[in-house]
Amino acid sequence: MSGFERYHRILRCFLHSESQWSVKALAETLDLPASTLYRGIRELVQHRFLESVGDSSYRLGPAFLEFERRLRESDPFIQSGGIFLPSLVRQSPIPICAALCRLHGHEVMCVADARTQGFEGSTAYERGRLMPILYGATSKAVLAGLPLRRRDKIIADAAAQTTVDVVYLTAQLRQLKKQGFLITRGEVDARLAGVAASITLPNDGIYASLTLIAHQSDLTHAIESRLAELVMTHASLIRQFMA
Amino acid sequence: MSGFERYHRILRCFLHSESQWSVKALAETLDLPASTLYRGIRELVQHRFLESVGDSSYRLGPAFLEFERRLRESDPFIQSGGIFLPSLVRQSPIPICAALCRLHGHEVMCVADARTQGFEGSTAYERGRLMPILYGATSKAVLAGLPLRRRDKIIADAAAQTTVDVVYLTAQLRQLKKQGFLITRGEVDARLAGVAASITLPNDGIYASLTLIAHQSDLTHAIESRLAELVMTHASLIRQFMA
DNA sequence: CTATTTTTCTCACTAAATGAGAACATACGA
DNA sequence: TCGTATGTTCTCATTTAGTGAGAAAAATAG
């Protein structure tokens, strides 16, 4: 084990499954001796990436709040979420959640979100959440905005791991570019539908999308049109804000 | 240089002053050769703690969003902020900001916040923000809930670095314990005032406070009383929720 | 296509991480 | 109060990794 990976292996444990770990449990999971682990954990605690929770176990520490805040306040794209999403969801005729998602490497992550008071949805579209790369309007709108070479590489890599109808996907992307938005139903959460538009800013290296998520049961043709209109106008506002 | 500090030195640069750094600037600031830095940065980029921004500079990466989200969803104390703060600010007669802050080591950090639409305040009371330990209602309410020994140690350590009237501070803490809340005016931001109550959960090792921040110009005696009432009832609600 | 900048690589050298076990610290119950 | 169990740090011989100057390669600009 070497370099940052040494620390990241420990931190990763806290992302998945349990949010609190005893040293003993970590030692079994990572197959490392306690003495080595205690050293790594102590360093992470000193730098606030972990914190001790009393009953001889550990959890993620306040450093993540501090760094995340810095990211939030310094990243203009995340800021645009804070500026435009609240007023966007207020204009919706039905309860919705709005999510701004961005490509990082080969993964799409939600970087800002807002929801109407009535929208008691899942936390699937919440800042910090990773999206499935080939499913849902969100990721498809990101893919649609990508340079062809990069898009194909991502699709090929991802398709190797899951079973996806690439022909259908390509058709959806074509449709998205043509009409400016895409509606998908039940692809991520069976009860929900997404209406998404691309936000591509090649100069900043940002490939992203804006998605409105609503309960399928709330949707009518008229409402779908309204949401499509909202998502396109606001995607445009965000593009202008970033330029 | 050794261990995690090697990486933390790099990351710290992004917290203060600039949010984007070129390798050249980092090399000068940290007094390290470029080859060493490139290695460290590459590791941090691979693990998404940094990301490249095209014009040969770097910024904080999406890993912080991911870890912060995990913290937010798994920490019951932060959750209690999400549950109680929105309804709390809605009950205020004037525009306010509500902040839930917690002691981590020798520092007080805001871990959750909410504000009324009309409150166009600073971001001084925002999740992830560190508070001055000896100024303001927020930190004083945290100190007031601390076991005496720990309180005295923190005050002594912090007072050595700034000039503080410890006698006055002690009097304020006494008053806070007696009446259940404390009002300070202009201690953190000259235009603002804070009304705070302690939230102490020794079983969880949580020493914290709830603060309402308002513009001093909006305050009357009647409103102060109302805010004091709100802050005490909600601090109590959060205590119960955590138990 | 060339010049310049950014990034990675190489390698001799230095320094740090590892892990087993002992030692220390702490909490708990008798 | 005293053991006892558990959690945490320490020690040290050994293995492994980090360092930095400069060369080389890649990417970018002119």
Which nucleotide is the nearest neighbour of A58, by CA and C1'?
A: D7
Q: In this structure, which CATH number among 1.10.10.10, 1.10.3720.10, 1.10.3860.10, 3.40.50.2300 belongs to the domain B4-65?
A: 1.10.10.10
Question: Are A125 and A97 contacting, i.e. CB atoms less than 8 angstroms apart?
Answer: yes
Cβ contact, residue pair B62, A5, below 8 Å: no
Cα A189–A190–A191 angle (5° rounding)?
A: 95
Nearest to A65 by CA among B122, B130, B107: B130
- B positions 124-183 inside 8 Å of A (CB): 126-130
Cα–Cα distances in Å, from B207 out to A61, A67, A156, A210, B86? 15, 22, 51, 39, 22
Residue in the structure block whose two tokens are 């700034």: B162
Euclidean distance between CA atoms B71 and A65, whole angstroms = 8
Cβ contact, residue pair B48, A104, below 8 Å: yes
Cβ contact, residue pair B66, A109, below 8 Å: yes
CA A39 distance to own-chain centroid: 33
Euclidean distance between CA atoms B130 and B139, whole angstroms = 10
b/e sequence A100-134, b meaning 16+ C-beta within 10 Å: bbbbbeebbbbbbbbbbeebebeebbbbbbebebb
The Å distance, CA of B36 to C1' of C23, is: 38
More confident residue, A182 or B162: A182
Q: Which of A233-237, B99-103, B231-235, B239-243 has the lowest mean pLDDT?
A: B239-243
Interface mutation vs chain A, best among B47, B68, B106, most A CBs within 10 Å: B68
Residues in chain A closer than 8 A to B40 (CB atoms): 4
Using the CB atom, is residue A42 less than 7 Å from strand D?
Answer: yes
Cα–Cα distances in Å, from B225 out to A85, A183, B181, B209, B220? 35, 51, 10, 18, 9
Euclidean distance between CA atoms B68 and A66, whole angstroms = 9
Question: CB neighbours of B143 closer than 8 A, spacing ≥ 6?
Answer: B133, B151, B154, B155, B173
Question: CB neighbours of A99 closer than 8 A, spacing ≥ 6?
Answer: A110, A112, A113, A125, A126, A138, A210, A211, A213
Q: Does A25 touch chain B (CB under 8 A)?
A: no
Question: Are A79 and B125 contacting, i.e. CB atoms less than 8 angstroms apart?
Answer: no
Q: Which CATH class is domain A5-65?
A: mainly alpha
Q: In this structure, which CATH number among 3.30.450.40, 3.40.1160.10, 3.30.1330.60, 3.30.470.20 belongs to the domain B75-242?
A: 3.30.450.40
The per-residue pLDDT for range B130-148, each reduced to its tens digit, is: 999 999 999 999 999 998 8
Cβ contact, residue pair B67, A71, below 8 Å: no
Nucleotides, chain D, CB distance < 7 Å: 6-11, 16-23
Euclidean distance between CA atoms A216 and A190, whole angstroms = 9
Positive or negative, the Cα torsion across A158, A163, A165, A169?
A: negative
Q: Does A33 touch chain B (CB under 8 A)?
A: no
Structure tokens at B52: 């490249």
Q: Which residue in chain A is spatially nearest to B42 when comparing CA positions?
A: A4
Q: What percent of chain B has pLDDT over 70?
A: 100
The per-residue pLDDT for range B175-200, each reduced to its tens digit, is: 999 999 999 999 999 999 999 999 99
pLDDT for residue B168: 92
Cα–Cα distances in Å, from A23 out to A26, A210, B33, B205? 5, 41, 36, 19
Q: Global pTM?
A: 0.94
Question: CB neighbours of B220 closer than 8 A, spacing ≥ 6?
Answer: none
The Å distance, CA of A37 to C1' of C20, is: 14
Euclidean distance between CA atoms A15 and A9, whole angstroms = 10
The Å distance, CA of B48 to C1' of C7, is: 18
Which nucleotide is the nearest neighbour of A55, by CA and C1'?
A: D7
The per-residue pLDDT for range B28-78, each reduced to its tens digit, is: 999 999 999 999 999 999 999 999 998 899 999 999 999 999 999 999 999
Cβ contact, residue pair B69, A104, below 8 Å: no
Taking the domains of chain A in order of start, what are their residue ranges?
A: 5-65, 75-242
Closest approach of A43 to chain B, Cα-based (Å): 6
Q: Which residue in chain B is spatially nearest to A103 when comparing CA positions?
A: B62
**Arithmetic mean of pLDDT over chain B:** 94
CA B134 distance to own-chain centroid: 13
DSSP conformation letters of A133-180: SSSHHHHHHHHHTS-HHHHHHHHHHHHTTS---HHHHHHHHHHHHHHS
Residues in chain B closer than 8 A to A61 (CB atoms): 104
> Mean pLDDT, to the nearest integer, of B87-112?
95
Q: Which residue in chain A is spatially nearest to B9 when comparing CA positions?
A: A47
> How many inter-chain contacts (A to B, CB under 8 Å) are there?
129
| Length of chain A (residues) | 243
User: Which residues have Cβ atoms closer than 7 angstroms to strand C?
Assistant: A 1, 6, 32-36, 39-40; B 1-3, 22-24, 34-35, 38, 41-42, 52, 56
pLDDT for residue B80: 95
pLDDT for residue A243: 83
- Residues of chain A with pLDDT below 70 are none
